[in-house]
Amino acid sequence: MLESKVRPSAIMTLRTRKYFARAHAHRSLLPLSLAQLFLLPASANAEDSDSSHTLPTVTVVEAPAAGRPPLDPDLPASVESVTRAQFENWNVASTEDTLKYMPGLAVRKRFTGDLNSIIAVRGTSSSQSARGLVYADGLLISNFLNNTFSTAPRWSLVFPNEIERVDVIYGPYSALYPGNSIGATVDITTRMPERFETDAQIKGFTQHFDLFGVDGHYNGGEASASVGDRIGKFSFLVGAHHLSNTSQPLTFATLAQSTTPAKPTDTVVSGAHFYNDQNNKPTAVLGINGEGIERTLQDQLKLKLQYDFTPTLTGGFTLGYWHQTYDSETSTSLRDVNGNPVYSGELSIDGQHYTVPAAAFAPSRGYSENWLYGLSLRTHRESGWNAEAIASNFDVSQSVARTAASGMPENGSGSEPGQIRFGDGTGWKTLDLKATYTPAERRAGFGAGAHTLSFGYHYDNYFVDDRTYKTWSWSDGDPTSLANAFKGSTRTQALFAQDAWRFLPRWQLVYGMRYEDWRAYGGARSVADSTVAYPEAAAQHFSPKASLSFDATQDLTLRASVGKAYRYPTVGELFQGQINGSSIVFNNPNLKAEEAQSKELTAEWAHWNGLFRVSLFQDDVRNTLFRQTDITVIPNITNVQNIDRVRSRGIETSYQGEDVGIRGLDLLANIAFTQSKILENSRNPETVGKHFYRIPLWRANLATTYRVNERWAGTLGVRFSGRQYNTLTNTDTNPDVYGGTSNYTVAEVKLTYRPNKHSKVGIGIDNLFDTRYFVYHPYPGRTLYVEASLAI
């Protein structure tokens, strides 16, 4: 426990008061007496801080979770946070659900257990995974092996019931974070016990879903348990989590609606469905294919150890294990005149001719095993020098994905070989060293002229070894011949320094510089017996940052921030090229780094038992890395390319408060407008002036919880996403269908009951009105949740 004395009449930064306000609001870090800080009238500014207006001293007690200090109050960026006291009243089935009401942010989560849950924020779309940093207690769980929907953060390495707080830091304005922060940085803080504790939780959920003749319920459940204790200087927490779920149908087999009359030799079938696709083209739906209905089993184990070597020096160790198996079921809707299922061939549907390939209904299955190792060493002095060292290693020890050649019975074995894809030997390593200096007068809330310093070193190494083989028995057979493979590595080293200088009582300047040295090496692609090795690539850049803030009153802070950032190409963007069935993906080893020039103007106002924020922002990004078609060459080439310039600008407004209007009513509300446009694109001029991929013009969220008393609480939440485009040319004029990206408004409700301080039960509904909405794949239908937990 850290104890300090703060005079309420002293000028404090709004970031510090914002953290204190949330800690007080959720009764986890500060005594109730700190409320005095927020009841001061706006006129009680620095001019009133003379001897005749001295107020009583307030004692502030902080209890850092997991040995970590509170979020840095001098961060030169907009920060939004949620705590356990808030999201435990929401429908939270997995860790990423804690982010669903954040301003200007959305999570592309297709079902509980989805490995493709990408965060999209401001001018970063739901397929740009390398533009979002996610840390859990300082350990990086972002997957920067590629920049696509399939390399989402490893959310499963954090159990929802171990989370204490989640902070979202918007934009690349701090020198402490790499260029992947162009979108946002998510900082997850988990708890460590102060005494013996046990926790157990069980959840069940079921959804209704109907589309294209599919009409059914899909069920899942999860269970978790943990035990921990603090014994003198040593504390530990060990936990386990199990998830089992069946998704709604995710993909469907489709063909363009035919206008060619059927041939006499065609097999006459029925059962197809028809709709107009995102480009308003008539389309036939033949059944469920591809990812189909995914059945997933996931198991996680977590061990956290902490030891206080001295009153100010703490060491920690984290071991995370995650294992998944999945089985994607496919099915055909087509039936011949005798009612037998039809999977492929020359067919007659409604009198028109169709050729359905054998792979149209090919199922898949696989499993993977992942390990996360983390070491940390921190000092936590109230003032003076502090140091921190964090090392992590994420290891994909097993990764096997099997795909059939067709959807015929007997798992597609026979005339065409299936495929087995191995990804073991893939992973990443990181090292972060940081030193900080906080003057004593700064800690106490005074200190005009004081400097708070941060500087350090960062290292990361990402590496991929991906191999695909043919097999004649896809479900359990051994590999035969190599189909394709790719491998490669990237390495980044960085030095950074940052100074928070309160040069006048109301003014603060935070400025810094980050130097990064990036290298890609060992890249190679193999097809059958042919291997192509790629030369090394390297780049070095300086990224300056600056932020100027002004405390207009004790309740109102204005801030202007600018920052440059470079997001370097991932291993997958540089080297991944493969031949998979009928698709060919070309790689591009000559990509440039994304270069972002970001600006933000923010006003933060503590009022009405909460905090208002308004932010104007602009991200001007050159060399955006994105998969597109180069129409300036013949034949056209589709792969990851640099788009010359994309500009995103907009405004966010948000409010978080407690006891709003009436006692017990907590409110979180925000609305964001973002216009993201392609300004230059030499490889595809047709896209210039068009809206960028999957950036909605409007996002809005509302979550209100009414705590009737200490036992009962009810929550209503609403999420809205406006018009967005699924193509760079903006030709998708019919977005609210399968294959498109929808506008949507969805609501959730939850009722929570606590029989006593140790137990809790809850019942909730997501997608209350059973809305059909899509992110190419359909999102879940109406989902019912029930949960029960016991903590001692």
For 442-507, give the secondary structure using H, E and C: HHCCCCCCEEEEEEEEEEEEEEEEEEEEEECCCCCCCCCCEEEEEEEEEEEEEEEEEEEEEEECCE
What distance in Å separates the CA atoms of residue 576 and residue 591, rounded to the nearest whole number?
13
Helix (H, G, I), strand (E, B) or coil at 199: strand
What domains sit in the chain, N to C, each tagged with a CATH number?
2-62 (no CATH), 65-791 (2.40.170.20)
Beta strands in 50-155 (DSSP E): 58-62, 79-83, 105-108, 118-121, 132-136, 139-140
**How far apart, in Å, are the Cα atoms of 388 and each of 304, 306, 393, 565?**
17, 14, 17, 24
Contact 62, 22 (CB under 8 A): no
Contact 504, 448 (CB under 8 A): yes
* DSSP structural state of residue 258: P
Order the strands of the 163-170 sheet from edge to edge.
Answer: 79-83, 163-170, 184-190, 132-136, 139-140
> What is the separation of C-alpha 783 from the centre of its chain, rounded to a whole number of angstroms?
22
Contact 262, 336 (CB under 8 A): no
What distance in Å separates the CA atoms of residue 414 and residue 405, rounded to the nearest whole number?
9
* DSSP structural state of residue 638: E
Amino acid symbol at 480: T
The residue whose two tokens read 């906080």 is: 438
Closest CA to 247 of 203, 286, 291, 202: 291
Q: How far apart are the two ends of the chain, measured CA to CA in Å?
A: 22
**How far apart, in Å, are the Cα atoms of 714 and each of 91, 201, 205, 394?**
11, 19, 19, 39
What distance in Å separates the CA atoms of residue 50 and residue 292, rounded to the nearest whole number?
70
User: DSSP labels for 607-650?
Assistant: ETTEEEEEEEEEEEEEEEEEEEEETTSSS-EEEEEEEEEEEEEE
Q: What is the largest CA-CA distance in the chain?
A: 101
What distance in Å separates the CA atoms of residue 319 and residue 440, rounded to the nearest whole number?
36
State the pLDDT at residue 579: 46
Closest CA to 316 of 264, 380, 252: 380
Residues ≥6 apart with Cβ < 8 Å to 251: 288, 289, 290, 291, 292, 777
What distance in Å separates the CA atoms of residue 240 and residue 226, rounded to the nearest whole number?
6
Give the chain's residues under pLDDT 70: 1-71, 408-415, 442-448, 577-586
**How far apart, in Å, are the Cα atoms of 406 and each of 35, 327, 348, 612?**
65, 15, 20, 56
In 44-80, which positions are buried (b, 16+ CB within 10 angstroms) versus exposed (e)? bbbeebeeeeeeeebebebebbbbbbbbbbbbbbbbb
* DSSP structural state of residue 69: P
The residue whose two tokens read 């009583």 is: 56
Structure tokens at 725: 């485009």
* DSSP structural state of residue 178: -
Helix (H, G, I), strand (E, B) or coil at 438: strand
What distance in Å separates the CA atoms of residue 664 and residue 57, rounded to the nearest whole number?
28
> What is the separation of C-alpha 575 from the centre of its chain, rounded to a whole number of angstroms?
24
Phi-psi region of 38 (alpha: psi -120 to 50; beta: other; left: phi over 0): alpha
Helix (H, G, I), strand (E, B) or coil at 574: helix
Kindly report the number of other CB atoms within 10 A of residue 164's CB atom: 21
What distance in Å separates the CA atoms of residue 215 and residue 333, rounded to the nearest whole number?
13
pLDDT tens digits for range 534-569:
889 999 999 999 999 999 999 999 999 999 999 999
Closest CA to 356 of 328, 332, 329, 330: 332
Contact 143, 117 (CB under 8 A): no
**How far apart, in Å, are the Cα atoms of 628 and each of 259, 636, 733?**
30, 10, 19
State the pLDDT at residue 244: 97
The residue whose two tokens read 């107009």 is: 276
Contact 117, 107 (CB under 8 A): yes
CA-CA-CA-CA torsion sign (736, 742, 747, 750): positive
Contact 126, 694 (CB under 8 A): yes
State the pLDDT at residue 588: 77
Structure tokens at 660: 């709003």
> What is the separation of C-alpha 145 from the centre of its chain, rounded to a whole number of angstroms?
15
CA atoms within 13 A on the CB side of 729: 12
pLDDT tens digits for range 254-309:
999 999 999 999 999 999 999 999 999 999 999 998 889 999 999 999 999 999 99
Amino acid symbol at 315: G
CA atoms within 13 A on the CB side of 408: 17
Strand partners, 611: 606, 656
> What is the separation of C-alpha 747 from the centre of its chain, rounded to a whole number of angstroms?
21
Contact 565, 179 (CB under 8 A): yes
Contact 681, 712 (CB under 8 A): no
Helix (H) or strand (E) holding 16: helix 14-25
Amino acid symbol at 402: R
What distance in Å separates the CA atoms of residue 490 and residue 519, rounded to the nearest whole number?
6
CA-CA-CA-CA torsion sign (611, 615, 619, 625): positive
